[in-house]
A and B are shown apart, each in its own frame.
Chain A
Amino acid sequence: MAPATALQTSPSLLALHGVGKTFPNGTQALANLNFNVRRGEFLSLLGPSGCGKSTVLRIIAGLTAPSHGSVEWPDPSTHAGKSNRIGFVFQDPTLMPWASVFNNVALPLVLKGVAAASIARRVTAALDRVGLGKFAQAFPRELSGGMRMRVSIARALVTEPELLLMDEPFAALDEITRFKLNNDLLQVWQATGTTVVFVTHSVFESVYLSSRILVMSARPGRIFTELAIDAPYPRDNNFGTSAEYAAFCRRTSAALAQAMAGETVAGDNAAGDKP
C-alpha cells in the first residue's frame, strides 16, 4: 500500500465544481462545494447532522441532481460505465429481506445480466472478503446488525467499484462491532485499492480511517476546512491508542468545533432577522 502522503498527491478521480443543492421546499442543503476526490484515497466528510453530507454522496452517485455546479470525472471511461464503478453503502444495511445473503450480494451483477457462473464466483469472493463465506444461504433476519452491514459492504464490493461511497455505515452499530468493522474496512480498502468517500459525524472514526478529512459546516452545507491525516497505513489498534492519533483527533475536534461555532453565529443571525 502506498504511504498516506502519496495519496495526498494522486490523480483526481472526480471533482465537484461549485456544487449547490436547494430542495423544492426552499431548504438550501449545500452551497458552492469545490473539492477533488483523489484516486485510491480514503476521504471522510465530517460534520454535524444536517450539514448535507449524505446529499453530497447522493450527488456523486448520480441519485440526486445538483441545483448548481457539476460533478466531473476526468477519466471518460470511468464516466461511461459509472453505475458499474460506484458502490454505495447506506446507513442501514438496506438488504432485501426476502432474499438470501448470496442473492443480496449478487443483485448488482444480476441487474447487469452477468452470467450465473461468474456471479457465483464473484459473490463467493466478496463474501469471503468480509468474512461471511459460511453465511451465503442465511437470510438477513438471521444475522446480527454487524453481519448485515458486512453483507451490505460485500454487495457494494462485488462489482469491484473504483469508488466506494459510504453513508455513516456504522453509526447504528455498537462500539465493539464498529471497531472491528473499521479495521476490516481498512483491510478491504488496502487489498482492493478502491477509493472511499466516507460520511461520518465521529471525529475518532474519521481520523482512524481517513487519509484526508473534509470538515463541513451546516445551513447551508459547505466545506469548512480540510485536514490531511498523514499517518502511515496499515493502521491498527496501536495507531488508535497512539499519541499521534490523539493529536490528530484533537486537531480535528477543534476544526469541527469551529465549523459548528460558525454555524451557531449564522443561526443567531437568522433568528435575529425575524422580528
Chain B
Amino acid sequence: MKAAASIQERYDRLLRIALPIVVLALGLLLWEAIVWINKIPPYVLPGPRLILRTLIDDWELLSQSLVVTLATTVEGFLLAAFGGVGLAVLFNQSRLLEYSLYPYAVILQVTPIVAIAPLLLIYLPQPLAVLACAWIVAFFPVLANTTLGLHSVDRNLADLFTLYGASRRQLLWYLKLPSALPYIIGGLRIAGGLSLIGAVVAEIAAGSAGAGSGLAYRIAESGYRLNIPRMFAALLLLSVAGIAIFYALSLLNYLALRRWHESALERGA
C-alpha cells in the first residue's frame, strides 16, 4: 500500500515538472513553425531560434542591462523591506504617528506608478528616480502586511507577557515581531515582484541611453529601432529575473517558517 502510494506520489511529482516543459516545447515548435511557414519577417515576429541567437550575440549588452535592472530592483526591495517593516513598527508603537502618516502611505500606493515616474524624473537624478519608483510600489505591501501581523498577536500570549512584566521592547522583540513574521514574509514576496515592476516602469519613463541603462530601456530602445528579436530577448531576461526573485523569496519563506508555521510545513509532517 505504502510503496504504491509513494510511486504514485513520485509519478505525480514527475508530471508536475514534465508537463509544463512539454507544453513549452510544443508552444515553441508551433511558434517556429508558424513563423517559418508564413515566412513572417523578423521585424514583425521573430522565431524562438532567432531570439535565442540574439540573446547569445547581444549577451554583453543585455547582461550589463540585466545587472543594472537587478541592482535597482534589489536596492528598491531592500529599502521597501526595511522601510515597510520599520514604519509598521513605528505605527504600532505610536498611534498618533499611524493616524498622521498612514493615509499618505495609502495615497502613494493607489496613485499609479506610471503617472508618478515622469514627475520623479524631473526632480531626482535618473538612477535615484528609478530607485524611488521601485521603492514606492514595493513598500506598501510590506507596510500593510506587517501592520496586520503586529496586530495578530495571540491574546493569551500577550497576557502572559503582561503577567511577567515584559517591557515594550521585549513585547515587540519576543512576541509581536515573531508573530508578524509570516505576514512580513508574505508582504516581502509581493514586494519582490513589485519592485521589479517599479524599476521597469521608471526605466521606460526615463528612456535615456548610456552604459547605465537597464533592460526595460533596452526594450524601449529596440522597439524604436524595430529590433524585435532583441525586445524579446530582453523580455525573456526580465521574466527570468522575476522568476528568480520569486523563488529566492519562497526559499526565504521556507527557511524562516519551516519548523513552525502551517504555510511552510509539509503535509503529513
Contacts and interface: CB of A to CB of B under 8 A. Distances in A.
Interface of A: 58, 61-63, 83, 86, 88, 90, 92, 94, 96-99, 107-108, 110-112, 139-141, 159
B160 to A, nearest CB: 6
Contacts of B175: 96
Given A110-B174, A140-B260, A94 B165 contact: no
A99 B174 CA distance: 10
Interface stretch (B84-92, B96-104, B151-159, B239-247): B151-159
B163 A96 contact: no
A88 B157 CA distance: 11
A111 to B, nearest CB: 5
Interface in B156-176: 156-157, 159-166, 170, 174-175
B156 A90 contact: yes
A111 B171 CA distance: 9
Contacts of B181: 98
Interface residues of B, number: 20
B260 A141 contact: yes
Contacts of B154: 94
Contact of A61 (B161, B163, B265): B163
A97 B261 contact: yes
B178 interface: yes
Contacts, number: 53
Contacts of A83: 163-165
A139 B170 CA distance: 21
A108 B260 CA distance: 21
Closest 7 CB pairs of A and B: A94-B156, A83-B165, A97-B260, A98-B178, A111-B164, A108-B164, A90-B156
Q: Which of B156, B160, B161, B165 has the most CB of A within 10 A?
A: B160
11 contacts: A83-B163, A90-B156, A90-B160, A94-B154, A94-B156, A94-B157, A99-B178, A107-B164, A111-B161, A112-B164, A140-B260
Interface in B244-269: 259-261, 265
Contacts of B178: 96, 98-99
Nearest to A165: B163
B260 A139 contact: yes
A182 B157 CA distance: 24
B159 A63 contact: yes
B160 A88 contact: yes
A62 B163 contact: yes
A64 B173 CA distance: 24
Nearest to B156: A94
Interface centre among B154, B157, B161, B164 (most CB of A within 10 A): B164
Contacts of B157: 94, 96
A245 to B, nearest CB: 33
A111 B165 contact: yes
Contact of A63 (B162, B166, B170, B265): B162
Nearest to B177: A98
Interface in B28-82: none
A63 B174 contact: no
A96 B174 CA distance: 9
A104 to B, nearest CB: 10
B92 to A, nearest CB: 18
A201 to B, nearest CB: 19
B220 to A, nearest CB: 46
A61 B162 CA distance: 10
B173 to A, nearest CB: 10
A94 B163 CA distance: 14
Nearest to A97: B260
A112 B166 CA distance: 8
Given A98-B181, A141-B265, 5 more contacts: A92-B156, A96-B174, A96-B178, A111-B166, A159-B164
Given A92-B156, A96-B157, A98-B181, A63 B163 contact: yes
Contacts of A108: 164
B259 A88 contact: no
A94 B160 contact: yes
Nearest to B181: A98
- Most central of A58, A99, A111, A112 by chain B CB within 10 Å: A111
User: Of A61, A90, A97, which is in contact with the most chain B CB atoms at under 10 Å from its CB?
Assistant: A97
A58 B158 CA distance: 13
Contacts of A94: 154, 156-157, 160
Contacts of B265: 141
